[in-house]
Amino acid sequence: MVTANTDILVIAGIPASGKSTFARKLQKEGFYYISLNGEDDAARTEQLQRDAYLAYRRGDTERLLELLSQSPGPVVVEYGFPPDEGNLQVVRGLRGGGARFVWFECPNDVARGRYRKRERGRAAAMAAFDRQIALIEERRDQITAAANPQFVQVLRGKAPKGHDELRREIFNDP
């Protein structure tokens, strides 16, 4: 169970599954937010965030954990999870360092629609989305073994779950 004493909570999942939205709301609640997504340079406004991203890009999990431990409070990491061997090694290192993973389960068609809207239907972006989904599906067992995540459905029926509902499920709050 994640509590305020949890040092590192990693929110992972397919693109457009709601990771950023949820992580940024946790930031407003006092979590220190770090994005390991390549397209989120604007979210890395502090040196610690930039250094953590650089350590991640180098595959230096020991340095990444050291930097995360310097955060001013519990950390929420948004991780888009490129499922290659280097990233699986980072995940194993984070797990070994005490990070807890939550995987946002979102149907591919729902995520694809969200992504299309966000990217204004750009063909190159949609092709990248499809490649990422294919890679995640291909390596799903390896991802699960490396991250050992709590799987959380982001939809209730066809409607998105709200922040409070997701938070209660992830943090096991009544």
pLDDT at 173: 74
Residue pLDDT, tens place only, 96-117: 999 999 999 999 999 999 999 9
d(CA 167, CA 144): 21
| Residue 18: domain span | 8-164
Asked whether the whole model's pTM tops 0.85, one would answer: yes
Q: In angstroms, how far apart are the furthest CA atoms of the chain?
A: 43
Q: Is 35 exposed, middle or buried (0-12, 13-18, 19+ CB in 10 A)?
A: buried
Q: Which pairs with CB-CB distance under 8 Å and at least 24 residues apart come from 150-155?
A: 150/100, 150/101, 150/102, 150/103, 151/103, 151/105, 152/102, 152/103, 152/104, 152/105, 153/105, 154/13, 154/17, 154/18, 154/104, 154/105, 154/106, 155/106, 155/107, 155/110
Instruction: Tell whether 169 is covered by a domain.
Output: no
Flag whether 121 is in a domain: yes
Q: In this structure, is residue 3 part of a structural domain? A: no
| Chain centroid, CA 1 distance in Å | 17
Taken in order 137, 142, 143, 149, the sign of the CA dihedral is: positive
Residue 173 lies in a domain: no
Give 31's DSSP letter: P
- The answer to whether position 141 is within a domain reads yes
The pLDDT tens digits along the chain (174 residues) read 344 445 899 999 999 999 999 999 999 999 999 998 877 677 778 899 999 999 999 999 999 999 999 999 899 999 987 778 999 999 999 999 999 999 999 999 999 999 999 999 899 999 999 999 999 999 999 999 999 999 999 999 999 999 999 999 999 876
Q: Please give the pLDDT value at position 174.
A: 64
The answer as to whether 170 is a domain residue is no
Round to whole Å and give the CA distance between 6 and 9: 7
In a domain, 101, yes or no: yes
Number of domains present in the structure of the chain: 1
CATH number at residue 41: 3.40.50.300
Length of the chain: 174
pLDDT at 155 (0 to 100): 96
Asked if residue 171 belongs to a domain, the reply is no
CA–CA dist 12, 105 (Å, integer)? 9
Q: How far apart are CA 70 and CA 143, in angstroms?
A: 27
